[in-house]
Amino acid sequence: MKYIIAIFLLIASSPIYSQELPGGQYDRYEIEPLKTNAKNKAMITAKYKYTNNDTYSMNDVGIKIGIYATDELVIGAHYFYLFDNSVVFEPNQDDLKAALLYDLYGFNIDYFLSNSYSLPVSLGINLGFGRATYTSFGNSPVSDDLAGDWLINIEPEANLYFHITNSVLIDFNIGYRIISGLEYSGIESSDISGFVGGIGITLSIH
Protein backbone atom coordinates (compact mmCIF):
# COMPACT_ATOMS: atom_id res chain seq x y z
CA MET A 1 0.00 0.00 0.00
CA LYS A 2 2.77 2.42 0.85
CA TYR A 3 4.32 1.82 -2.58
CA ILE A 4 1.05 2.76 -4.27
CA ILE A 5 0.84 5.97 -2.23
CA ALA A 6 4.45 6.83 -3.09
CA ILE A 7 3.86 6.32 -6.83
CA PHE A 8 0.71 8.46 -6.70
CA LEU A 9 2.58 11.31 -4.96
CA LEU A 10 5.38 11.20 -7.54
CA ILE A 11 2.91 11.41 -10.43
CA ALA A 12 0.91 14.21 -8.83
CA SER A 13 4.05 16.29 -8.18
CA SER A 14 5.49 15.88 -11.67
CA PRO A 15 5.42 18.96 -14.01
CA ILE A 16 3.60 17.04 -16.74
CA TYR A 17 0.75 16.00 -14.48
CA SER A 18 0.58 19.21 -12.44
CA GLN A 19 -0.07 21.36 -15.51
CA GLU A 20 -3.28 19.42 -16.09
CA LEU A 21 -4.57 20.16 -12.59
CA PRO A 22 -6.48 23.37 -11.71
CA GLY A 23 -3.89 25.95 -10.68
CA GLY A 24 -1.05 24.06 -12.38
CA GLN A 25 2.02 26.02 -13.37
CA TYR A 26 1.10 25.95 -17.07
CA ASP A 27 -2.64 26.39 -16.74
CA ARG A 28 -3.32 28.58 -19.76
CA TYR A 29 -6.89 29.24 -18.71
CA GLU A 30 -5.91 31.09 -15.57
CA ILE A 31 -3.27 33.37 -17.08
CA GLU A 32 -4.62 36.37 -18.96
CA PRO A 33 -2.27 37.69 -21.67
CA LEU A 34 -0.63 40.99 -20.81
CA LYS A 35 -1.83 44.03 -22.73
CA THR A 36 0.17 47.18 -23.22
CA ASN A 37 -2.90 49.32 -22.72
CA ALA A 38 -4.84 47.20 -20.25
CA LYS A 39 -4.43 49.83 -17.54
CA ASN A 40 -3.17 52.72 -19.62
CA LYS A 41 -4.94 56.04 -19.87
CA ALA A 42 -2.71 57.97 -22.26
CA MET A 43 0.47 57.87 -24.36
CA ILE A 44 3.06 60.60 -24.95
CA THR A 45 5.64 60.08 -27.71
CA ALA A 46 8.68 62.18 -28.60
CA LYS A 47 9.60 61.22 -32.17
CA TYR A 48 12.08 61.80 -34.97
CA LYS A 49 10.84 61.32 -38.56
CA TYR A 50 12.78 61.04 -41.81
CA THR A 51 10.88 61.78 -45.02
CA ASN A 52 12.32 60.88 -48.41
CA ASN A 53 11.34 61.35 -52.05
CA ASP A 54 13.14 61.66 -55.38
CA THR A 55 14.08 65.30 -54.73
CA TYR A 56 14.62 65.89 -51.02
CA SER A 57 15.20 64.17 -47.68
CA MET A 58 13.75 65.89 -44.61
CA ASN A 59 14.25 65.56 -40.86
CA ASP A 60 11.37 66.33 -38.49
CA VAL A 61 11.08 66.19 -34.73
CA GLY A 62 7.89 66.44 -32.75
CA ILE A 63 5.49 65.04 -30.21
CA LYS A 64 2.32 62.93 -30.22
CA ILE A 65 -0.20 62.76 -27.39
CA GLY A 66 -3.01 60.22 -27.28
CA ILE A 67 -5.83 59.20 -24.93
CA TYR A 68 -7.30 55.68 -24.90
CA ALA A 69 -10.90 55.80 -26.07
CA THR A 70 -11.11 51.98 -25.83
CA ASP A 71 -8.59 49.21 -25.15
CA GLU A 72 -7.53 49.34 -28.82
CA LEU A 73 -8.31 52.89 -29.98
CA VAL A 74 -6.14 55.92 -29.17
CA ILE A 75 -7.16 59.46 -30.20
CA GLY A 76 -4.89 62.45 -29.82
CA ALA A 77 -2.94 65.33 -31.34
CA HIS A 78 0.52 65.89 -32.80
CA TYR A 79 3.04 68.60 -33.69
CA PHE A 80 6.12 68.22 -35.92
CA TYR A 81 8.53 70.70 -37.47
CA LEU A 82 11.37 70.61 -39.98
CA PHE A 83 14.48 71.36 -37.95
CA ASP A 84 17.19 71.54 -40.62
CA ASN A 85 17.89 73.24 -43.95
CA SER A 86 17.41 70.11 -46.01
CA VAL A 87 14.93 71.66 -48.48
CA VAL A 88 16.70 74.36 -50.50
CA PHE A 89 15.05 76.04 -53.51
CA GLU A 90 14.85 79.28 -55.48
CA PRO A 91 11.58 81.03 -54.53
CA ASN A 92 11.94 83.96 -56.94
CA GLN A 93 13.77 82.33 -59.86
CA ASP A 94 16.65 84.76 -59.43
CA ASP A 95 19.33 82.23 -58.48
CA LEU A 96 19.00 83.21 -54.81
CA LYS A 97 18.49 80.18 -52.61
CA ALA A 98 16.16 79.84 -49.65
CA ALA A 99 15.62 77.14 -47.05
CA LEU A 100 12.09 75.90 -46.51
CA LEU A 101 10.62 75.76 -43.01
CA TYR A 102 7.36 74.11 -41.99
CA ASP A 103 5.22 73.08 -39.03
CA LEU A 104 2.67 70.25 -39.12
CA TYR A 105 -0.03 69.76 -36.51
CA GLY A 106 -3.43 68.18 -36.14
CA PHE A 107 -5.19 65.04 -34.93
CA ASN A 108 -4.06 61.42 -34.92
CA ILE A 109 -5.94 58.14 -34.56
CA ASP A 110 -4.18 54.84 -33.75
CA TYR A 111 -5.76 51.39 -33.63
CA PHE A 112 -3.85 48.55 -31.95
CA LEU A 113 -3.99 45.37 -34.00
CA SER A 114 -2.00 43.59 -31.30
CA ASN A 115 -2.12 44.33 -27.59
CA SER A 116 0.39 41.72 -26.54
CA TYR A 117 3.02 42.95 -24.13
CA SER A 118 5.83 41.46 -26.20
CA LEU A 119 4.87 43.05 -29.54
CA PRO A 120 2.31 45.88 -29.64
CA VAL A 121 1.42 46.87 -33.23
CA SER A 122 -0.85 49.72 -34.33
CA LEU A 123 -2.11 51.29 -37.54
CA GLY A 124 -2.77 55.00 -37.50
CA ILE A 125 -3.35 58.15 -39.45
CA ASN A 126 -2.27 61.75 -38.86
CA LEU A 127 -4.64 64.40 -40.19
CA GLY A 128 -4.03 68.09 -39.97
CA PHE A 129 -2.68 71.35 -41.25
CA GLY A 130 0.65 73.08 -41.46
CA ARG A 131 2.40 76.28 -42.38
CA ALA A 132 5.38 76.60 -44.68
CA THR A 133 7.72 79.58 -44.80
CA TYR A 134 11.27 80.12 -45.94
CA THR A 135 14.38 81.96 -44.89
CA SER A 136 17.71 82.83 -46.49
CA PHE A 137 20.13 79.97 -47.12
CA GLY A 138 23.84 80.58 -46.74
CA ASN A 139 24.81 84.04 -47.96
CA SER A 140 21.81 84.48 -50.27
CA PRO A 141 20.07 87.79 -49.39
CA VAL A 142 16.54 86.37 -49.55
CA SER A 143 13.89 88.14 -47.48
CA ASP A 144 12.07 85.84 -45.09
CA ASP A 145 8.50 84.99 -46.02
CA LEU A 146 6.38 86.05 -43.06
CA ALA A 147 2.97 85.20 -44.55
CA GLY A 148 3.67 81.59 -45.44
CA ASP A 149 1.67 78.94 -47.26
CA TRP A 150 -0.97 76.90 -45.44
CA LEU A 151 -0.66 73.15 -45.92
CA ILE A 152 -2.92 70.11 -45.58
CA ASN A 153 -1.27 66.93 -44.30
CA ILE A 154 -2.48 63.30 -44.48
CA GLU A 155 -0.13 60.63 -43.18
CA PRO A 156 -1.11 56.96 -42.71
CA GLU A 157 1.41 54.93 -40.73
CA ALA A 158 2.15 51.66 -38.95
CA ASN A 159 3.81 51.56 -35.53
CA LEU A 160 5.78 48.78 -33.83
CA TYR A 161 6.56 49.07 -30.11
CA PHE A 162 9.13 47.41 -27.86
CA HIS A 163 9.03 47.70 -24.08
CA ILE A 164 12.04 49.07 -22.21
CA THR A 165 10.08 49.08 -18.96
CA ASN A 166 6.37 48.61 -18.26
CA SER A 167 5.77 52.31 -18.93
CA VAL A 168 8.51 53.22 -21.43
CA LEU A 169 8.59 51.91 -25.00
CA ILE A 170 10.61 52.39 -28.17
CA ASP A 171 8.41 53.13 -31.17
CA PHE A 172 9.37 52.43 -34.80
CA ASN A 173 7.07 53.59 -37.58
CA ILE A 174 6.77 53.63 -41.36
CA GLY A 175 4.25 55.58 -43.39
CA TYR A 176 3.60 57.89 -46.29
CA ARG A 177 3.14 61.66 -46.04
CA ILE A 178 0.83 63.45 -48.48
CA ILE A 179 1.03 67.26 -48.39
CA SER A 180 -0.94 69.73 -50.48
CA GLY A 181 -1.18 73.50 -50.59
CA LEU A 182 2.45 74.49 -51.18
CA GLU A 183 2.42 77.22 -53.83
CA TYR A 184 5.94 78.64 -53.84
CA SER A 185 7.74 79.02 -57.15
CA GLY A 186 10.52 76.49 -57.57
CA ILE A 187 9.02 73.84 -55.30
CA GLU A 188 5.88 71.69 -55.22
CA SER A 189 3.83 69.87 -52.59
CA SER A 190 5.19 66.56 -53.89
CA ASP A 191 8.70 67.74 -52.98
CA ILE A 192 7.86 67.57 -49.29
CA SER A 193 5.69 64.46 -49.53
CA GLY A 194 7.01 60.91 -49.53
CA PHE A 195 7.83 57.82 -47.53
CA VAL A 196 8.36 58.34 -43.82
CA GLY A 197 10.34 56.34 -41.28
CA GLY A 198 10.59 57.25 -37.64
CA ILE A 199 11.76 56.31 -34.17
CA GLY A 200 10.46 57.57 -30.86
CA ILE A 201 10.27 57.13 -27.11
CA THR A 202 6.79 56.55 -25.75
CA LEU A 203 5.64 57.03 -22.16
CA SER A 204 2.49 55.16 -21.13
CA ILE A 205 0.45 56.86 -18.42
CA HIS A 206 -1.50 54.49 -16.19
What mean pLDDT is predicted for residues 16-20?
45
Is the predicted pLDDT of residue 55 greater than 70, yes or no?
Answer: yes
Number of H helices, E strands in the chain: 2, 9
Please report which confidence band the pLDDT of residue 21 belongs to, taking 50, 70 and 90 as the band edges. very low
Is the predicted pLDDT of residue 119 greater than 50, yes or no?
Answer: yes
Of residues 203 and 39, the one with the higher pLDDT is 203
pLDDT at position 205 is 92
Instruction: Catalogue the long-range contacts made by 128-133 (C-beta closer than 8 Å, 24 or more residues apart).
Output: 128/78, 128/104, 128/152, 128/153, 129/104, 129/105, 129/153, 130/102, 130/103, 130/104, 130/105, 130/179, 131/102, 131/103, 132/100, 132/101, 132/102, 132/182, 132/184, 132/192, 133/100, 133/101, 133/102
Is the predicted pLDDT of residue 14 greater than 80, yes or no?
Answer: no
Domains of the chain, CATH where assigned? 1-31 (no CATH), 33-205 (2.40.160.20)
